[in-house]
Structures are given as structure tokens and as C-alpha cells.
């Protein structure tokens, strides 16, 4: 199998923040979740050198392999997503099952002593170009769309408006 | 044949031409105009930001396309045969509790709706398809005096 290069790694938050993960450090380990009672920490160690990453599944867990070259655009990317959007009694946060997003590793961050008060998954997701999903926080939500080069982050209203305008431009919708 | 709508905003005894539409992200070139939900009373936490989106700069009249996501207002110059009314129902909050609440009961088609979910007072905005003159008739029935009772204007067509 030909390896064309690695994928970018991003950190996404349900509040709409997107940042690059600097995983070029030789000692960098991607940690998902928390290491405590009632929580679950999963570590994704990185081998090789470079800023771009592909992952391999082994019997002992997922391992990242670094590349100095970036996979040509439009490329998939990795997203480290802590889905916890703020404490709310009895509410747990999960990553939605959507087409084009594959969860390859999963940790858990819990609220309260020994994780007795719910919490949220912390997932490492392989996101294909064109994939979009919604992450909920305590009072709000954000839509994330990956086009193979950049992330587009929108509020639900702006997302609905964009899709509505696209539908009308394509001749869809119903005139009153 | 698309209907031409006269755009109106109804708030208490006031009917004003047009709806307040603005680009939500004016720093983005080409950002469309939204009929944004911007209430005076209540908290907008968790509420929808917009009720409709415009495909161009809005004037006094428009045509409407209903989509699966949000109504799209298309500016037009034709003679209106219906009203597109942005009804701003409210209950006054802190500092204005002696002023009457404004509510409307109707059987019109609601194209979009947004409301507050907490805070002092509250508002519910809805975009409705109404016959010509409907908004003015509702506004004329509202008695907006201090210490007047809360009012629900019942105008079934």
C-alpha cells in the first residue's frame, strides 16, 4: 500500500474552538479522557518524526505514525474531540454517529467524585472530507464541517441558513 | 406564481414596515442577511439566532421560499398581495412589570418561531403569512398603558 503522507491533527471543542495539535514533539502522546476512578484514559503514542499522522490498530491499542509529508488535499484529518460541554445534572455527552467520521480510540472524562455525575467521551476520530457533525454543549451547539483543507464552524441558525440558501440556489424549496 | 409579501414588524401597538435584517457576521464578505432574533426581554441562551435568511438586501416586499431548513426571503418589487409579519410577543421584565404583556392568538401559517428561555420577562417572535391589513388590526386592539391588564389579542381570520 502506497503511503502518500500523514493527516493533520486538530482539537475540537463543543463550544466551537478548533486548534492544531502540535504532535511533532518526539515525546508527544495523545491522551484521551482522564486517568482517575470512574474515568478512562486512553493513550495514543506516536512513533516516527513529523507533524502529520496516520494511525495503526494493534492488539495493544491504537498507535500513531508520524509523517513529515502532508497527504495531498482534499485529505482526511484527525480530530481529538472532548465532547463534554459543561456539567448538567444527569447529562452525558457522546460523539454522534455520522457518515464519514470513524472513532478509532475513545476515553472518558467524568464529573464528580469517582465519575458518579455523568461526563463525556473524549474521542479520536478520522474525519473524511465533506463530513459534518453537530457537537452539543450545555446550552448551545456547534456544527463542524471538514472540507479536506479547513474546518467550517457554524451556529445551528447559520448552518440552517447556509443549507437553505444552497437548497434554493439548486432550485429546491417551495414558493409561497 | 409566487406571492409578493409586504414585510412588516408587529410589536404591541406598533406596526413598522420591513423587518430588521442584518448580516450576522458583517466581517465576512458576502455574508447573507438574517432576520435575527434580538429580543429586548428575557435570555437568548440556547435560543435560535435567526428566523429566516434573505437571498439579497431586503426592502419593503419580498417573496418566500419554504425549505427544509429555514425560510428564504427573496427581495422583490411587485405589488404585495399578502403580509409577512414578524410578530414580537412579549412580557415585560425587570423595571417594566406594570406594563401589559402583548400576546396574539391566530390561526395563520407560522413559517418560523424563536423564543427566550429564561431571564426577566420573555419574548416569542414568529414569522407569519397573513392577509393584508392583519397586523394593523392587531396593533389597533392593543391597549399599551401602564397598569393596563396583560392582553392576548384574538384575531382569527
pLDDT in tens, A89-114: 888 999 999 999 999 999 999 887 77
pLDDT at B138 over 80: yes
Contact B155, B139 (CB under 8 A): no
Q: How confident is the model at residue A27 (pLDDT cuts 50, 70, 90)?
A: confident
Phi/psi region, residue A118 (left: phi>0; alpha: psi -120 to 50; beta: rest), is left
Q: Is A2 in the B-facing interface, judged by CB distances under 8 Å?
A: no
Write down the pTM of the prediction: 0.87
| A150 at B interface, C-beta within 8 A | no
Mean pLDDT in residue range A49-56:
92
pLDDT at A134: 96
pLDDT of residue B46: 84
What is the model's pLDDT at position A73? 87
Is residue A3 scored above 80 in pLDDT?
no
- Find the CB nearest B70 among A139, A161, A172: A161
Contacts of B64 in chain A (CB under 8 A): 175-176
Contacts of B70 in chain A (CB under 8 A): 157, 160-161, 163-164
Q: CA–CA distance from B49 to each of A78, A142, B15, B29, B87 (Å)?
A: 30, 12, 22, 20, 16
Asked if pLDDT for residue A115 goes beyond 90, the answer is no
Res A173 pLDDT > 80: yes
Cα gap A13→A145, rounded to integer Å: 13
User: Which member of A156, A160, A168 has the closest CB to residue B55?
Assistant: A168
The gap between the terminal CA atoms of chain B, to the nearest Å, is: 23
This model of the complex carries an ipTM of 0.87
Contacts of A160 in chain B (CB under 8 A): 50, 69-70
What is the predicted pLDDT for the residue at B27?
57
From chain A, the residues in CB contact with B28 under 8 A are none
Q: Given this model, what pLDDT does residue B78 score?
A: 84
**Per-residue pLDDT reduced to its tens digit, B76-110:** 888 999 999 999 999 999 999 999 999 999 999 99
Query: What beta strand segments (E) does B12-81 contain?
Result: 14-17, 21-23, 33-36, 50-54, 61-66, 72-75
Q: pLDDT tens for residues B23-74?
A: 666 555 566 788 889 999 999 888 888 999 998 888 888 999 999 999 999 9
Using the beta-carbon criterion (under 8 Å), do A164 and B70 form an inter-chain contact? yes
Amino acid at each position: 500500500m502506497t503511503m502518500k503522507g500523514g493527516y493533520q491533527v486538530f482539537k475540537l471543542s463543543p463550544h466551537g474552538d478548533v486548534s492544531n495539535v502540535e504532535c511533532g514533539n518526539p515525546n508527544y502522546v495523545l491522551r484521551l479522557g482522564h486517568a482517575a476512578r470512574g474515568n478512562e484514559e486512553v493513550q495514543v503514542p506516536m512513533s516516527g518524526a513529523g507533524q502529520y499522522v496516520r494511525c495503526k490498530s494493534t492488539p495493544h491499542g491504537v498507535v500513531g505514525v508520524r509523517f513529515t509529508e502532508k497527504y495531498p488535499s482534499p485529505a482526511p484529518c484527525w480530530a481529538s474531540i472532548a465532547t463534554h460541554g459543561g456539567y448538567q445534572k444527569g447529562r452525558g455527552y457522546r460523539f454522534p454517529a455520522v457518515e464519514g467520521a470513524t472513532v478509532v480510540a475513545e476515553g472518558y472524562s467524568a464529573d464528580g467524585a469517582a465519575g458518579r455525575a455523568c461526563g463525556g467521551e473524549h474521542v479520536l476520530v478520522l474525519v473524511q472530507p465533506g463530513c459534518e457533525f453537530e457537537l452539543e454543549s450545555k446550552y448551545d451547539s456547534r456544527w463542524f464541517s471538514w472540507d479536506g483543507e479547513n474546518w467550517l464552524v457554524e451556529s445551528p441558525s447559520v448552518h440552517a441558513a447556509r443549507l437553505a440558501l444552497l437548497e434554493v440556489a439548486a432550485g429546491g424549496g417551495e414558493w409561497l | 406564481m409566487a406571492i409578493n409579501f409586504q414585510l412588516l414588524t408587529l410589536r404591541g401597538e406598533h406596526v413598522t414596515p420591513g423587518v430588521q435584517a442584518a448580516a450576522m457576521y458583517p466581517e465576512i464578505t458576502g455574508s447573507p442577511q438574517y432576520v435575527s432574533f434580538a429580543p429586548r426581554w428575557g435570555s437568548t441562551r440556547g435560543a435560535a439566532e435567526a428566523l429566516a435568511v434573505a437571498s439579497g438586501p431586503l426592502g419593503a416586499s419580498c417573496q418566500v421560499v419554504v425549505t427544509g431548513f429555514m425560510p428564504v426571503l427573496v427581495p422583490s418589487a411587485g405589488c404585495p398581495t399578502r403580509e409577512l409579519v414578524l410578530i414580537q410577543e412579549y412580557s415585560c421584565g425587570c423595571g417594566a412589570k406594570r406594563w401589559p404583556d402583548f400576546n396574539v392568538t391566530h390561526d395563520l401559517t407560522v413559517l418560523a418561531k424563536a423564543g427566550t428561555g429564561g431571564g426577566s420577562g420573555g419574548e416569542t417572535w414568529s414569522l407569519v403569512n397573513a392577509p393584508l391589513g392583519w397586523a394593523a388590526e392587531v396593533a389597533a386592539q392593543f391597549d399599551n398603558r401602564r397598569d393596563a391588564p396583560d392582553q392576548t389579542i384574538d384575531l382569527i381570520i
